[in-house]
Structure formats: C-alpha cells, structure tokens
A and B are shown apart, each in its own frame.
Chain A
Amino acid sequence: AQSVTQPDIHITVSEGASLELRCNYSYGATPYLFWYVQSPGQGLQLLLKYFSGDTLVQGIKGFEAEFKRSQSSFNLRKPSVHWSDAAEYFCAVGGIWQAGTALIFGKGTTLSVSS
C-alpha cells in the first residue's frame, strides 16, 4: 500500500540550530515528493518538490530536501532555523497521473523553535 511516514510527531529546535525532518514513503513506482508547511489556521504552502533529476532539491525559505531511493526517504533540512519556522510540516507523495491522482500525506511533524 502507498503510504508516507513521518516518524517524528513533534520536534523542538533551538533558534539558529540545524533541522532535519524525516520522511519515508512506500510507493510502487517512481514517486513525486513534496514538502508542505502549514501555520495554524492556514492553508498549505509548498516548500519544495522532487519530480526527477538532481536528488538534492532546493526550496523556499532556505529549505532543502534529499531524495534517497535506496532508503525510500525524502528528508527536509535547514541549516539554521528561525523562530518563524515554527509550524506543521507535511511530507506528501504522488505518482503517475491518470486523470489526476491525489497526494498521500504523512501525519505531519510539529516544529517548535526555542530561543
């Protein structure tokens, strides 16, 4: 079955410290992978996406993610976290589109930033 696992429900990071949010997926074909961020009461904002090519993907707000096929992972990283990064982060996977296919979301990781 297709699924996305975000092992960490809640992570607290000191401001200025580095961040890594984990994402593992189970998918039968080449996946299309996404990271979204959601602030309380808000919609989703796309941070970055991977379709093909270079496995290290750069996104907005200084985020990057690396696709590792051998590990079925797509971990999100940021070298220096800012207090404004505190939010909910969702990893999602999609696949071959046939008249549109919905994304499968992980359960999310809540990021708290301490001063």
Chain B
Amino acid sequence: GAVVSQHPSWVICKSGTSVKIECRSLDFQATTMFWYRQFPKQSLMLMATSNEGSKATYEQGVEKDKFLINHASLTLSTLTVTSAHPEDSSFYICSASKTGTSGNREQFFGPGTRLTVL
C-alpha cells in the first residue's frame, strides 16, 4: 500500500500561536509532498509543493512566511502556521508522490487536519 498519515487530525489553538502539522509517508519514500487547503464545502486549493532537501514552492497568494514548510526527509513534511488567526481556520490536507518516475503519476492523500483558531 501507500499510506500517508497526518498529525494531529484536529487542533484548536488561540489566535497568535503557531501550529505544526506533520505529514508522513508510512510505507514509501516521497520525493515530493503537497499541501492543500480546503475551506468548508469548497475544493482543494494547492498551497505549496515541498521537495525533500530544498525550499518549498508556494502558490501565488500563499504567504510563505506564514505557512512554513519543511521537508527534511523522504518521509516527513511539516506545515507550520505561524501567528495563526481565525481566518487560517481550515482543513489542511497533504499528499505525497512516490520517488521514481512511474510512481510520480499518483498522489496519496493524508486524512487531513482540521485547524480551528479561536
């Protein structure tokens, strides 16, 4: 299989604090991981592409200083929401593509993290 986990599955934090979300590929190596954001009853919007060992590539309109992404190993990427505000409340989903050409055709999604900022 190709399993991706996220931790935590849900988090509530106070405005102004930082929150770290982990995305792990459990049984495969992921050269590339993606972070998506999903507002209620809306589609997934790509936030950034994370490549192991290099800086993430952010989509237009996504503040890279607010959404810090680190991809330090082939099985772990983290998204840190810094100085969170209520408007950052959302469902964050990561996905990972397997290392290797043929494996890159499919992404495997994590279960998502529900962030609520009070």
Report the tally of A-B residue pairs with Cβ distances under 8 A: 55
Q: Do B49 and A100 touch (CB < 8 A)?
A: yes
Any B CB within 8 A of the CB of A43 = yes
Measured between beta carbons, the chain B residues less than 8 angstroms from A46 are 106, 109
- Chain B CB within 10 Å, residue with most, of A44, A51, A101: A44
Q: Known contacts A43-B93, A43-B110, A43-B112: does B46 contact A102 (CB below 8 Å)?
A: yes
Stretch at the interface among B11-19, B60-68, B82-90, B97-105: B97-105
Which DSSP category, helix, strand, loop or mixed, fits chain B's interface? strand
Any A CB within 8 A of the CB of B107 = yes
- Chain B CB within 10 Å, residue with most, of A94, A100, A105: A100
B residues lining the A interface (CB < 8 Å) = 6, 31-32, 34, 41-44, 46, 49, 51, 91, 93, 95, 97, 101, 104-107, 109-112, 114
A residues lining the B interface (CB < 8 Å) = 32, 34, 36, 41-44, 46, 49, 51, 90, 94, 97, 99-103, 105-108, 110
Listed by A's residue number, 8 A-B pairs whose Cβ atoms lie within 8 Å are A44-B93, A99-B32, A100-B32, A100-B34, A100-B49, A100-B104, A102-B107, A108-B43
Nearest first, the 10 closest Cβ-Cβ pairs linking A and B are A100-B32, A97-B104, A43-B111, A43-B112, A44-B109, A102-B46, A107-B43, A105-B43, A105-B44, A102-B34
